[in-house]
A and B are shown apart, each in its own frame.
Chain A
């Protein structure tokens, strides 16, 4: 056990800090649509040109070939620089954190060489196509069907909760390719080009007033068989590797950022008047204890993040322990923003965007997604209970 950064890591931090000071966008991120996409991919391109895209991706695919620790240092410096946007809300999230890592782990050479550099350059935006109206927590029961016809799959069905479907170029799509097999055995993971004919995207407005959420309909959409990632009918295994990234390292940026959010909130509590209208909020006993508890918990979250990185270094794929971090993080994120609204009082009435400087109301509304997306906290608890602790499986 050690907390030492190597000289390389220290030098990397200095370089990152300097570069961020010169290159971070200063204007606000447009909240939706093409303008938002342009902002996000321009930032991705800036990262790529500066040599900061895919920090922990292999060099052969355009990444920097560095460690998860360096990736974490990058996120720490990014948070420290007070950016006007949140990486987790970027439309480049799925490409960088699910689609890309899944292709690295399970894709063939063609798939890797076509998509991975393009994701890093900001030329490709990806979205997810896992959940369906009838297959949420029970993802394995998905029914969006794909029938082989020559060298193509013909896809008919529906997906839902697809963030950024309207601006994405590609989708990581789970389809049922063998309806006669047991439910987890007949699924395939395919790369769907969002410009293929037969795709209909209908936006869904979220309670945080964002419209990047969507349902996607497929009417005999023809996808080349070459787009299947891993083997046909092996999609569940591929999807589980995707989700292990989501539960393992994908939220590292967010976990690191949360420490900064708590410090910002402590500053708010020092300057704002607390309940009763006389003393600063931080002198209110209840609020100060909750702030201190959040401070302790984000410290523990960072320690768990580092322990997770240490563990991943010894294994190929992130293990089920990632679900512990995801569960802790999701609920802590909510507690922080719940506390923020209790501190800012009636100032919370004014609706804000979901990210940006000094905003609390929008992120509070957005925080409800943290215990639902990527597997609800109930599902995370099942994974911890069954796969980490070894308790009997849910029938």
Chain B
């Protein structure tokens, strides 16, 4: 495989992933929203969920971005150490973002915080943002994660006292959920990051948003904490769009890292109901496997 082929293929795959991500929700999120609609007892909550479900269907049918906020774009990359020309990947992905902006299209969402100028192509300083993991093998797995601003603005971080420990986590999540109200477009997916350090806790919370909704955490203690927080959040009655109802969260996912003796960082990340992401794996021989959206 020549350099050019690899770059062109990576660019093409990434444009497809962006289109998939913004126009079609992953099946687990769709099912969670459908279940929420069936179970919702509040009339107002039901009308909000109905509008969401109708919107999802229209977006999928017409290949239109489901939300006008097509997000600020990040890529999560898992690269086999034998995959060639890894140094060219970011360039190809930047080109993909520019092309996708024109073609899908995406709303231009990259703004210079010093001048307030919009770059008009969704690229900018450190944007799209790249997260890298190196693995064994000769594949490149690309996940695109366009993140909306509404749910991003309600993310929170607090450096707890170690003596408050684990019991501060549940209260902090509930406080964050109440403060957020309808602003992050509930029902949301909630990611919680504990430990590591300020940046690590937030990153863990963000990554937790991408976990499959139905997956039970293999750590029994964490799974119990997730269930406890999930039940508590839905008891707040904040409901779809913060207008009251039974489903405020679709799922709570907790990730943790070991911590400094003096620190107990806790981060809460929100993902709106339009939980957009898409993953594909490119194999060295040129096969592309789309993993989130099969068609």
> Do A and B form a real pair?
no
Q: Which residues of A contact B (CB under 8 A)?
A: none
Q: Which residues of B contact A (CB under 8 A)?
A: none
